[in-house]
Amino acid sequence: MSVVANAIVLSEEAVNHLPFPGVFFGLIAFAIFLVAGFVMWSYRDVANRHPQKSAAFAQSHDLHGHGDRTGADH
């Protein structure tokens, strides 16, 4: 290949066509974050749905972390 032919080949633009316009990539990401946010929102206040279990746990465990099972004193 000559220098001129090599320069012509290197100067051609490589075009990668996207399957759809670039704006849609952002919209898809936004939709995924909305769905993930809704899933996180749906689990709000799950611990308080069973107050009898929460009360039993609070009575049987030291809430301040003193005297825990590891034996570490703070």
Indicate the range of 7-11, 31-35, 39-43 predicted with least confidence. 7-11
Do 66 and 74 meet the contact criterion of CB atoms below 8 Å apart? Answer: yes
pTM score, two decimals? 0.48
CA 37 vs CA 11, 41, 44, 47, 61: distances in Å: 46, 6, 11, 19, 32
Q: What is the pLDDT of residue 74?
A: 47
Across 4-8, 31-35, 40-44, 66-70, which has the greatest mean pLDDT?
31-35
Q: Where does the pLDDT of residue 50 fall: very low under 50, low under 70, confident under 90, or very high at 90 and above?
A: confident
d(CA 51, CA 38): 24
